[in-house]
A and B are shown apart, each in its own frame.
Chain A
Amino acid sequence: MKPVFTYSEGMERVETSYCPGCTHGIAHRLIVETLIENGELGNAIGVCPIGCSVQAHKFMHVDMCEAAHGRAPAVASGIRRVHPDKPVFTYQGDGDLASIGMGEIIHAASRGERFTTFFINNGIYGMTGGQMAPTTLIGQRSTTSQDGRTVEANGMPIRVAELIAAVDGAAYVERVALDSPAHIRQAKRAVQKAFAVQKMGVGFTMIEFISSCPTNWGLSPVEALGWIKEKMIPYYPLGVKKDITAQNVQEEEA
């Protein structure tokens, strides 16, 4: 029998702590698959966040270290400077990156640190029980916005990919979604591109994954994917937000 799809060797053969239908498992798999394809699984160093993926080091067969809440970019900056030949990445959720860690991520991008951030945007605080995040949509209910988020009280949700793309040190920023097989294939290409740009050493790279949280959204896993398509993608448009390697090619051609 010829294997067409087998579970990545880069994933540990343990039970993940994620709820049924949580797309964290897909994002983990795309990262380790890419590292294996690049022959870098044993070389790579990751930094875990605080959040549901706090135990990501137990699930991905990659050397990882833990950072304080939101501080993964600062830790990864140090690791990448000490190990300039190794692929370094952070794996962060929206409560971690877009809220308490907003300062770290912007400054890391601004310094053009040569690591990759994988940002999981599910619009809610998952681990702590479904509180409102900076990325919670207008009208979305959470335990701290029980009648729905309002602009007057809470402002608009932050579009992190566009924000980071506006920073000079960022080299490659793309937003992808994990709601359908086609989008997952696109997400894999984005991860490959991010590691390739990181290797070129031209600046900071970030991939934002639009992800689901069926448990805290109060939806079934299948309904949650539908909600991503109907509600999240219209507000968080997918696509490449910045690619300085493409700009260089255009300038050379011109």
Chain B
Amino acid sequence: MTKKFRVELIKDRCKGCELCTSVCSRHLLKMDTHLNHKGYASVTIENMDACIGCINCALICPDGAIEIFQLEEGDKE
């Protein structure tokens, strides 16, 4: 079974700097058109199933807006 990951994007912390989108090894992160409460376009993810859990995005996020979890058996996707 291939490993699956869940990427939690804390949109209210995001400042829309796009650093995460530039380092995603699968190019899954995109900028949302929706603005958060600070007025920044926050990050969003397309096709979370394709995430390989490389944590590049979380490492480079200066604002702690990205957390990553590995799904285990019995977890809801």
Contact = CB atoms under 8 A, between A and B. Distances in A.
Interface string B2-39: 00011000100101111101110000000000000010
A29 B64 CA distance: 9
Contacts of B21: 222
Interface stretch (A19-27, A64-72, A87-95, A202-210): A19-27
Give the interface SS of chain B, mostly helix, strand, loop or mixed.
Answer: loop
A11 interface: yes
A8 B67 CA distance: 10
Interface residues of A, number: 30
Interface of B: 5-6, 10, 13, 15-19, 21-23, 38, 40, 53-56, 58-64, 66-72, 75
A181 interface: yes
B58 A26 contact: no
A4 B72 CA distance: 12
B69 A181 contact: no
Contacts of A180: 23, 60
Interface string A176-190: 000011001100000
Contact of B70 (A4, A18, A181): A4
Given A24-B62, A180-B23, A1 B69 contact: yes
Contact of B22 (A7, A23, A222): A222
- Give the interface centre of B6, B38, B62 by most chain A CB atoms within 10 Å: B62
